Structure 1
Amino acid sequence: MLCIASCGPWTGDHHWGSTAIEKASGESVKLDCHFSLAPLDSGPLDIEWSLLVSDQQKEIILYSGDRAYEDYLPSMKGRVHFNSADPKNGDASINLTGLKSSDTGTYQCKVKKAPGIANRKMQLTVMVRPSKPQCYVEGQSEEGKDVVLKCRSAEGTNPVKYTWEKTTDNQLLPASAVLDLMGTMNVKNASASASGTYRCTAKNRVGTEECILTLRVMPPSNKAGIIAGAVIGVLLALILIAIILFCCCRARNKKKYEKETSYEIREDVPPPKSRVSTARSFTSVGSQRSSLGSMSPSNLHEYALKPQYDKIPSDEYERPPSHAPLPPPGKMAGPNLSRMGAIPVMIPAQNRDGSIV
C-alpha cells in the first residue's frame, strides 16, 4: 500500500491528517510530501498538487509520465516548483516563493500508483506583516486639554497589536493616559510633564514595525488677545484700503479736471485801439471847429463841460496837464477857445427884455 511519510494519523479512506503553516508575505515555504511504494504498486506514477479555495480545486503543479508540468495556475506562474529534480524517488514536496496573501488556502498532495493512492492536506496562511505605522497628534496640544496620540498601520494581517512607550525623561507614560487596541492613546487633562518622545510599535505574528512621535504640550493660548489682535488688524487693513481708494479717486478727479480745462475755449482779450493818423486828427479838428462856430454861447458852455471821451490824442497834440485848473463854468477866455480851435463870433448885445441893442 502506498504511504505518505510524516503525514500524521492514518485515516480509513487513506487520507492523512492536515497541518497548519503560517508564513509572512514575501517569504518562501516548502510544503512537504514524501511517499513510499508497496510491492503491489506497479502502475504509472502520478503526483498532483492542488489548491482548495471556497470548495473549488485548482491544480497548481503535476508530475506524470516522468515529466513535471508547472504553471497551471496563472497567479502562481514561475513561483511553484518540485523540491526534487526526480519526484518518483519518493519526494513529492514543492517550494512556493514570493508568498502573497492570495496564496492562503488548503493545499493537497495526491500520489497515485495503481492500485495504491494516497493524499495529504495542509493549511497555509500567508500573513502580511504590519507596514510602518504613522504616528500623529490629533487636536491641540495644550495644557488642561485632552491630547490624543494616534498610531495606525495601513497594512497588516489581524490581529495587529499596538503598544506605546515613552523614551525620554522617566520613560513612564502619563498617569492619565488611556490606551485602546486600535493604537490610540488619550492623555486626559494633559500637563507640561507629558511632553517628550514616544514610540509606537505595531506587531502581529509575522512582523513588527514602529514609529517615533515628539509631543510638546504648550501653555493655554490667549484667545482674547488673539481675537483682539485679529480685529485690530482687520480695521487697520480697512482704513488703509479706504485711504488708498480716497487718494486714487482724488487723483482721478484732478486728472479729469485738468483734461477738461485743457480743451476749454478761452475768449481772447480785445486788442488795443490803434492810434488815429494825423490826417484823421486834422479832419476831426476841422469838423469840431465848424461845429463850434455854429454854437451859441449856451451850447458852447455845455460843450466845454462835456467830457471829451471820443478824442484820441495824436502825436502833434498833447493833453493838458491833469493839474491845470479848469475855467469857471460859463466863462471861458478867448485864448482858451482859440486853443481849442474855436472861431470868435460877435454876439449882439441884448437888453433885459430880449431886444437887440
Structure 2
Amino acid sequence: MQGHSCCCKNESCSPLRGTGSSHGLEIISTDATTVEKASGESVKLDCRFTLAPEDSGSLDIEWSLRPADTQGEDKVVILYSGDRAYENYYAPLKDRVHFFSNDPKNGDASINLLALKSADTGTYQCKVKKVPGIHSRKVVLRVMVAPSKPRCYAEGASQVGKDVVLRCASSEGTSPINYSWERMTGTKLLPASAVMDPVSGTLSIRNASEAFSGMYRCTARNRVGTQECAVELNITPPPNTAGIIAAAVICVLLALIIIAIILFCCCRVRNRKKYEKEISYEIREDVPPPKSRVSTARSFTSVGSQRSSLGSMSPSNLHEYTNKSQYDKIPSDEYERPPSHAPLPPPVGPKPLGPNLSRMGAIPVMIPAQNRDGSIV
C-alpha cells in the first residue's frame, strides 16, 4: 500500500505506512528543545534527519520563526530547496543565519545563529520535506541580556546609631536578576543587624556602629552573566551639637558687630557732611551785608527833623541857613563810597548853630558818621 504523508506543526510525525513496512523520513535530533543564550553569543539549533529509500521526492528544508510575543505570523528565516540554500531570506537575520552543513541533504539541517540579539528570542521550527514524508522539530530560543555593571551607593546618614541602606542596581539585564552582598574587609561577615534583599538589591543596616565601616561588594547575576560593584562605608561619630550651636552663636554675634560698625561709620560720615555744610553756611554769612536800611532811615529821620525845624523859620533867615555847608546834603542811598585806597573821612563833629537859628529855637542835630558800607560808626 502506498504511504500517506502527514504534516504536524506542533509535534514531529512520521509518514503512515502499511503494516510491516519500514519507516521513511525521520528527525533524529535529541538535543534540548529550549536553549538560553546571552546576547552577542552564537547558538546552534539542531535538526538532524534520516531518509529511507522510498523517499524519492525532492528534499526541502525550511526554518521559520514565531516571535516571542506570539502576535505575529511565522516568518521564514532560511530555506534549502533544489540543492540550493537561501540564507538571506529574513532581513532581521541577514548575514547572521547559516546552515551548519555545507550540504544539508546529507542529513543535517541544523543552523547557526550569530551575534544574538534580544529580538531573536522566539520559537524556531525546522521542517524537512521529502515526498511522501514531512517531519518538523521546534526549538525555543531565549536570548538573555547579561546584567550591566551595577551601581553601588550608600543611602542615609553614615553616622553612629543611624540606619544605613546600601543599594545595588543594574540598568540592563534579563530578569530575573539576583543581587547578593558581601563584606570585603575586616571579618568579611555582614553585620548581625544587616538585612539583604536579593530582588531589590538592598542591604539595610540598622543602628550602625564604627565597626561596620569597610568595603562592601555587590554581585548581580542572571542565567547568562554576572557583574560586580563595590562601595566603601564609613560610619562616623555623631557631630558635636554643642560646638555647632556655639559656632552659630559666635557667627551671629560677629554679624551683629559688623552691622553695628557699618551703621556707626555711616552715621559718622553723615554727621561730618552735615558739619561741613554748616561751616560753609557760616563762611557765607561773613560776607559784608548790603547797605544798611536802618542808618538810612535814621538819616532821613534826622533830615526830617531838620526840615521841620527849617519850616518854622521865616524866609528872611533862610539864606543864612543855606550857607551852612554841613546842611547842604542829605544822606541817601546814592551815597558814593570812597575808593578802597582812600582813607575814610574823619568824623564830623557837631557845629554850633548860627545865632539866627538859635534865636529862632532851632535844635542842633548831629549827623552820625558812617563807614564805607553805610553802617553807623
TM-score, with length taken from structure 2? 0.65
> C-alpha offsets along residues 9-39 of structure 1, whole Å, 9 cap, x if unaligned?
xxxxxxxxx6111111111101111222221
Q: For residues 200-219 of structure 1, what are the structure 2 equivalents within 5 Å?
A: 200-219=218-237
2:318 aligns to what?
Answer: none
Query: Which residue is 1:310 aligned to?
Result: 369
* 1:121 positional shift: 0.8
Whether contact under 8 Å (1:29, 1:95) holds in the other structure is yes
Matches within 5 A, 1:233-244: 233=251, 236-237=254-255, 240=258
Aligned to 2:102: 85
What is the CA RMSD across the aligned residues, in angstroms?
A: 4.2
List runs of 5+ in structure 1 lacking aligned partners. Answer: 9-17, 314-357
Contact 1:275 1:312 in 2 (8 A): no
**Aligned counterparts of 1:84 and 1:212: Cα–Cα separation in 2:** 47
What's the offset of the Cα at 1:152?
1.3
Task: Find the partner of 1:275 among 326, 333, 338.
Answer: 338
Alignment partner of 1:189 is 2:216: no
Summarize the Cα distance change of 1:115–1:312 in structure 2 as closer, same or farther, 3 Å threshold.
Answer: closer
Report the CA distance between 1:77 and its aligned residue. 2.5
Deviations 1:316-342 (A, max 9, x none): xxxxxxxxxxxxxxxxxxxxxxxxxxx
Q: Within 5 Å, which residues of 2 pair with 1:49-64?
A: 49-53=63-67, 54=70, 56-64=73-81
* In 2: Cα distance, 1:136 partner to 1:32 partner: 45
Alpha-carbon distance between aligned partners in 2 of 1:229 and 1:311, rounded to the nearest angstrom: 78
SS in 2 for 1:296: helix
Q: Which residue of 1 aligns with 2:40?
A: 26
Q: How does 1:141-290 map to 2 (within 5 A)?
A: 141-181=158-198, 182-223=200-241, 225-227=243-245, 229-230=247-248, 233=251, 236-237=254-255, 240=258, 269=288, 274-275=337-338
**Deviation of 1:111 (Å):** 0.9
Corresponding residue SS for 2:33: strand
Aligned pairs (5 A) from 1:3-42: 3-7=26-30, 19-42=33-56
Q: CA deviation at 1:237?
A: 4.4
Question: 1:178 offset after TM fit, Å?
Answer: 1.3
SS at match of 2:140: strand
One-letter code aligned to 1:82? F
| Structure 2 SS opposite 1:193 | helix
| Sequence identity (%) | 60
Residue 107 of structure 1 deviates from its aligned partner by 0.9
**TM-score calculated relative to the size of structure 1:** 0.69
Displacement of 1:289 = 6.8
CA gap 1:255/1:183 in 2 versus in 1, 3 angstroms: same
In structure 2, do the counterparts of structure 1 residues 87 and 254 end up closer, same or farther at CA, with 3 Å as the change threshold?
A: farther
| Code of the aligned partner of 2:288 | V
1:36-55 per-position Cα deviation (integer Å, ceiling 9, x unaligned):
22212222221111112316
CA contact (8 A) 1:146 1:190 kept: yes
- Measure the CA separation in 1 of the matches of 2:88 and 2:272: 90
- Counterpart secondary structure, 2:75: strand
Give 1:244 shift: 5.0
Partners of 1:245 and 1:163 lie apart in 2 by 64
1:87 to partner: Cα distance: 2.1
CA distance in 2 between partners of 1:76 and 1:241 (Å): 77
Deviates more, 1:183-192 or 1:245-254: 245-254
Counterpart Cα distance in 2 of 1:244 and 1:94: 88
Count, aligned residues: 298
